[in-house]
Amino acid sequence: QRPLRRLLSCPGTVAADLRREEQSSGNAETGSEDRTPKKRFSELQNERREQAQRTVLIHCPNKINEKKFLKFLSQHGPINTHFFYESFGLYAVVEFCQKESVTSLQNITRTPSLGPEAAIPFKSRYFNLKLRNSVNQTSELSSIQCSNQSSPSSKKLYQLLCCAESVDDQLNTLLREFQLTEENTRLRYLTCSLIEDVAAAYFPDCAVRPFGSSVNSFGKLGCDLDMFLDLDEIGKFTAQKTSGNFLMEFQVKNVPSERVATQKILSVIGECLDQFGPGCVGVQRILNARCPLVRFSHQASGFQCDLTANNRIALKSSELLYMYGALDSRVRALVFSVRCWARAHSLTSSIPGAWITNFSLTMMVIFFLQRRSPPILPTLDYLKTLADAEDKCIIEGHNCTFVRDLNRIKPSGNTETLELLLKEFFEYFGNFAFNKNSINIRQGREQNKPESSPLHIQNPFETSLNISKNVSQSQLQKFVDLARESAWILHQEGKDRPSPSSNQPWGLAALLLPSVTNNVPLSKKKKKPASERIKNLLDSIKSSGAENSIATNGR
Ligand code: GTP
Ligand code: MG
């Protein structure tokens, strides 16, 4: 009843947009379970990395003749695919079919002469295209269709959510609008690959691999790009080659610990990015953090990047989350909505502090889905029992083994709707005994808290660590209050939905938009005055200030 009328009462463009998107996505992301064999995480990573190595990034004039541009580039070899995007100018991402084409293009490219300034002649895969005889070409130039790299505005999201057919449809719509697009994913791998070129000047066989939300399937358009410098491949390669009675080792410099080695390597790579990494700006070397890193902006792609080294466990965590995200189509929809809800209410922040992180929220959703009856997601211990010899993985003494072939995990028989799950998620955590229990996705049940942090979420691989150690009591309380409030709103709505013609926000829209939640008559809790919110913010910053700001991120 409501669905159709809602769609009809929507502004024409949005309804049309919606229908188009539904047709083009074919419900692949959100609809019924797709039973085609799923690729392993490592397979996907390797494919994407290889693809990125054949790809170049070109800063173009604002108007360009696309056909001629492609013809010009195809002199160097066939092009597999390309797209344009805007970020302080027009950029093209062009993937050749063969790697040699990139070298060929580099060979005809010149280093610019800049007048009074001087150029550092680093030959990367990031180019600048200029028009020769631009006056003659003007008539042929046209605007280019650009791929979108940012998430929808609150206004558009609001419209889309209000036009959805059901709460389930709202959650799926939010997922569709916020998830990384194919182009954005390509740009992320390309950016890593460009950084790899810089690091490879010192470590020719290194790999710079993305991890975190760029690859774990929970990334939202605009999220940061976490990458790590993998030097392990170098060791593996040489070990295989050694045979016979002699064993050759490189003469190397020794340093007191793995940590010092990481700091030294990142220090140098950070310096290189700063001094001659094209497009890398605002390079900060944060080497004393628990997990040393180099932070910078990659201007051309618009990504905020965190480069770490020696961080295999984080990549393994990303693989685990990717598996959980792929096991059931409800997982990602629920995680995206919970993350957006948390962001909308300032429970999470881009600044490190005493806030809950997206990583912790994802763990909470996974845990909640393990607790359903029947469970929607298996426990990590169960995934470990399905592992075979090849899946065995020990990193720094931690057992990180779990089955990596998604097709060996039986789908869940649970058929609960997203609407029910969202409501129950809020109820579950609105009433969770955080004071005594720890969240543990390895066992899929609460454990006694081993230490007194307000929120305890066991790190799945380094089991003695708490991934939410940074969260303060007041932030946890805020989460609990908002969860209860949201459960209440959904519960009330279930009984008495606003009529479609009333134009009132409903379902997820009522939970997400702060201005909207304020309108809902709530006897219990009103938003605190701005002065109090600012005070809380300052308190959070103060309480985390003693620790290193990055360490508070829990890494
Ligand atoms: P975004 O907020 O979208 O960036 O999510 P994210 O998952 O990328 O989180 P973030 O950038 O903060 O961290 C990147 C990755 O580092 C995460 O996905 C985890 O794999 C890992 N990570 C973050 N925090 C912790 C932590 O407290 N402990 C451990 N072991 N790993 C962490
Ligand atoms: Mg991240």
Mean pLDDT by runs of 10 across the 555 residues of the chain is 39 40 39 66 95 97 91 97 93 97 95 81 93 67 82 89 92 96 97 96 93 96 95 62 79 92 96 94 95 96 95 94 96 98 94 94 98 98 96 94 94 96 98 96 94 96 95 97 94 69 80 55 44 48 40 38
- What residue ranges line ligand 1, CB within 6 angstroms? 211-213, 216, 219, 223-224, 226, 314, 317-318, 357-359, 459, 467, 553-555
pLDDT confidence of residue 51: 97
Strand order, beta sheet including 126-128: 79-86, 90-96, 55-60, 126-128
Ligand nearest to the CA of 318: 1
Among protein residues, the one with the nearest Cα to ligand 1's atom 22 is 555
> How far is 188 from 298, CA to CA, in rounded Å?
10
Q: Among 303, 305, 555, name the best residue to mutate to test ligand 1's pocket (greatest count of ligand atoms within 8 A of Cβ).
A: 555
Q: Which residues pair with residue 285 across a beta bridge?
A: 294
Ligand nearest to the CA of 316: 1
- Taking a C-beta distance cutoff of 8 angstroms, is the pair 355, 253 a contact? no
Structure tokens at 383: 């995934």
The atom of ligand 1 lying closest to the CA of 461 is 30
CA of 552 to the centre of ligand 1 (A): 12
Beta strand 394-395 pairing with 398-399:
antiparallel
Strand order, beta sheet including 280-286: 207-211, 225-230, 303-309, 293-298, 280-286
Q: Which residue, among 344, 358, 336, 305, has the nearest Cα to 173 in the 3D structure?
A: 336
SS3 content of the chain, % helix, strand, coil (to 5): 45, 15, 40
Q: Among 359, 380, 470, name the best residue to mutate to test ligand 1's pocket (greatest count of ligand atoms within 8 A of Cβ).
A: 359
Among protein residues, the one with the nearest Cα to ligand 1's atom 18 is 212
pLDDT confidence of residue 239: 56
The atom of ligand 1 lying closest to the CA of 318 is 20
Structure tokens at 222: 């605009």
> How far is 329 from 467, CA to CA, in rounded Å?
25
End-to-end CA gap in the chain: 48
Angle, CA 301 vertex, CA 297 and CA 306 arms, to 5°: 35
CA of 390 to the centre of ligand 1 (A): 26
Write the CB contacts of 290 (distance below 8 Å, at least 6 apart in sequence).
Answer: 548, 550, 551, 555
pLDDT confidence of residue 67: 92
Among protein residues, the one with the nearest Cα to ligand 1's atom 17 is 212
Q: What is the CA radius of gyration of the chain?
A: 25
Q: What is the dihedral of CA 304, 307, 313, 318, to 10 degrees?
A: 30
Tally of residues, the chain? 555
CA of 358 to the centre of ligand 1 (A): 7
**What is the ipTM, given to two decimal places?**
0.96
Phi and psi (nearest 5°) for 147?
-85, 140
- Taking a C-beta distance cutoff of 8 angstroms, is the pair 223, 258 a contact? no
The atom of ligand 1 lying closest to the CA of 220 is 3
> How far is 232 from 395, CA to CA, in rounded Å?
12
Structure tokens at 435: 């004071």
Q: Which residue, among 283, 285, 284, 281, has the nearest Cα to 263 in the 3D structure?
A: 285
Ligand nearest to the CA of 358: 1
pLDDT confidence of residue 240: 57
Ligand nearest to the CA of 321: 1
pLDDT confidence of residue 3: 40
Ligand nearest to the CA of 362: 1
CA of 219 to the centre of ligand 2 (A): 8
Could you say which DSSP state residue 475 is in? H
Burial class (CB in 10 A: 0-12, 13-18, 19+), 393: middle
Write the CB contacts of 219 (distance below 8 Å, at least 6 apart in sequence).
Answer: 179, 180, 212, 213
Among protein residues, the one with the nearest Cα to ligand 1's atom 24 is 555
The atom of ligand 1 lying closest to the CA of 359 is 7
